[in-house]
Structure 1
Amino acid sequence: MNKRFMTLIGLVLTLAMLLAACGGGSGSEPTEGADPGEDAAETGDSEAAGEADVILRLAHSGSETHQYHIAAVNFKEEIEEKSNGAIAVEIFSGSVLGSEGEAVEQILDGTLDMTTVSADSSFANTVPEMNVFGIPYLFENLDHVYRTLDGEVGTELLELSDQKGMKALGYWEVGERHVTNDSKEIKTPEDMNGLNIRVQPAPVWEAHMRALGASPTPVAFNELYSALDQGVVDGQENPLNTIYSMKFDEVQKYVSLTAHTYSPAIVVMSERAWEGLTPEQQQLIEEAVEAAKLYQREELAAMNDEILAHFEENGVTVTTDIDFDAFREATKEVRDVLSSQVPAELIEKIENN
């Protein structure tokens, strides 16, 4: 009897340890297809968090060298310093808490404190006006982009986001988007003909690729590396830092600097988290988001030449002689797809900014 009793005790203890191992952490399992060869990570300082009055969980879909993470880490440093440790930030990268669309849903239902996502991707399903950033060649250059985001139009779009049940804090950067593929150089719209290109899940992107003769295929960002590697899609379009940080150059041998659109990363907080802060803490959060914006812009600008050099050193063909006039002409009707979602006045404001 004692032997049977001891065996039973051993089984109970083993089961308890297994349950403990499965029950810790955030309650969400890592999303398949996060940054290849790199575990999705939480960079929160547990010691700092333990001493803080407020702990904010910030999730994003990028790797630890992605634009999102560059800004998020700077934001964490800024707010923890400005608040003298009263506010701590735990960062979850690589879609460990879900895709961008899932992160937005979690913000809306209050189960996630903060996220930063591409404004013109799945976020535009909640705030349709953000589709404006999917209009090809709407901006003349980065100075035009920054005047828009930092001015009246940018503020109006943040206010529209506030009306959807969240607190919009500002814009970080995803960047100017370029086309990559694994079969040929892209110099003219005709070169896009027949290519199967991954697009963000929004009608404007599907219309954009069809206008160029390509076949648009929506693929979740955290599944994109695998889709490229396995030939599910021939190519994709993203900013240089995204291509580099997510290692797409390992499975794409042609990068064409088409600069066809610019994507801002909107920074949002759940209403529950925002309303749980004092007015003084809210101001510190806004200041830290702004500081991270400026820091990230400077960092990304400095990195571009290094990234292009890295591509060329690793056998990637970088094409710069793009027929921009031909691309503009081929895609000029894409904005018509957005007529029911993006007011004509908004487009006009941006063009005249």
Structure 2
Amino acid sequence: MLKKKMVMGMMSTLLLAGTLVGCSSSNEKAGGQNPASEPKTIKLAHTGSETHQYHIASEIFKKELEAKSNNTLKVEIFPNAKLGSEKDAVEGVMNGTIDMSVLSADSSMANVVPEMNVFGIPFLFENEEHVYKVLDGEIGKGLLKKADEKGMKGLGFWEIGFRNMTTKEKAINTPQDMAGLKMRVQPAPVWQEFMKSLGANPTPVPFNELYSALEQGVVDGQENPIATIMSMKFYEVQKQVALTKHTYSPGAVIMSSKMYDSLSDEQKKWVEEAVLKAAQEQRKVLAEKEAQSIEELKKNGVNITEPDRSAFAEVTKDVSKAVADKVPAELIEQIKSAK
């Protein structure tokens, strides 16, 4: 009887070992690793070129996140509007077909989160220090939470910069010089009002179509930060730049709720830390390039003017009233007092 039990025990052990070997063989055939441990790829879309502010920050973010996660989280960047316009990007993030994007807060983003129109109000910010105090503080966090209510996660703000006027031929020295010009605007109500207050004709054009619109004369001019004018080579078709610095545009960094909710708490922390690191490093890079870029514009035959900003501020002072139904007065006052 004892001998029989020993034999049966040995048979059971062999069967168990065979089962384990079989499972091991199956795993090896499947690739030798648990599918759950395979890297997760985040697809990040933007409309800028490979030298645009969006791409500078995206590359820093990619490097930081992949290092923090030991390459368990990967980032694939799609520049040059490969996945569509900024309107397509924000809609794609909202419905989960695009994982992540960065886009102008006061453009298509403002059509989804109306309070973002605040960034189109002229002469609201005095300088970069004022901007960063707002974006990095409770006001900025509050605006990002508004995005959370729209099927996406607001992660932070990357820099686009203070915006300046450009035209093909006509030099801009006073607000009156803007009269009658067809000026490209972003697709948000605040920009329509801004250009109308200057006597210009606001003409919406998607950012990824702007160069050709300028080249073909669809519009006479546009307004963007110096870094954008350089990275998108607008200086090739716009030979006048007026340093009005009339508004500051941040790039809103958003992720689809679908992607964000699929991450563990630790992964979410890595993403948020990498977005913040990218913001800090990108600001340094762009600050160093500003003066150099202006000199490069001059070398490319661009005439630089420095208008009286106070005259532009006076003419556009009522723009905020035109978007009062979208931007609460208390938000504007909070920003003004956050100096």
Q: Partner of 1:8 in structure 2? A: none
Amino acid at match of 1:349: Q
Q: CA RMSD in A?
A: 0.8
In structure 1, the partner of 2:327 is 342
**Match in the other structure for 2:297:** 311
Q: State the TM-score, normalizing by the size of structure 2.
A: 0.88
Deviations 1:235-285 (Å, cap 9, x if unpaired)? 000001111100000000001110000000010000010011100000000
- Which residue is equivalent to 1:209? 195
Q: Is the 8 A contact 1:198 1:237 kept in 2?
A: yes
Partner SS for 1:305: helix
Match of 2:66 in 1: 80
Report the secondary structure of 1:123's partner residue: helix
User: Would the aligned equivalents of 1:106 and 1:112 in 2 still touch at CA under 8 Å?
Assistant: yes
Residue in 1 aligned with 2:270?
284
Q: Counterpart of 2:311?
A: 326
SS in 2 for 1:97: coil
* 8 Å CA contact retained: 1:194, 1:214: yes
- CA offset at residue 343 of structure 1? 0.6
Separation (CA, whole Å) in 2 of partners of 1:52 and 1:313:
50
Match of residue 184 from structure 1: 170
Residue correspondences, number: 302
Distance in 1 of aligned mates of 2:170 and 2:152: 43
User: 1:161-310 counterparts in 2 under 5 A?
Assistant: 161-310=147-296
CA distance in 1: counterparts of 2:99 and 2:168, whole angstroms: 39
Structure 1: distance between partners of 2:237 and 2:201: 19
Q: Aligned equivalents of 2:105 and 2:244: distance in 1?
A: 20
What is the aligned partner in structure 1 of residue 40 from structure 2? 54
The CA deviation at 1:87 is 0.4
Q: What amino acid sits opposite 1:146 in the alignment?
A: Y
Look up the match of 1:103: 89
The alpha-carbon deviation at position 70 of structure 1 amounts to 0.1
Q: Deviations over 1:69-110 (max 9, x none)?
A: 000000000000111110000000000000001011110111
| SS of residue matched to 1:339 | coil
For 1:317 and 1:95, locate their aligned partners in 2 and report how far apart those are by CA, in whole Å. Answer: 30
Q: Quick one: structure 1 residues 346 and 267, their matched pair in 2 at CA, closer, same or farther if it must change by over 3 Å?
A: same
**How far, CA to CA, are the matches of 1:108 and 1:165 in structure 2?**
5
Q: Does the 8 Å CA contact 1:180/1:237 hold for their aligned counterparts?
A: yes
Moved over 3 A (4+): none
For structure 1, list consecutive stretches of 5 or more residues without a partner in the other structure. Answer: 1-50
Helix, strand or coil at the partner of 2:327: coil
Tell me which structure has the larger Cα radius of gyration.
2
CA–CA distance in structure 2, aligned partners of residues 204 and 172 of structure 1: 21
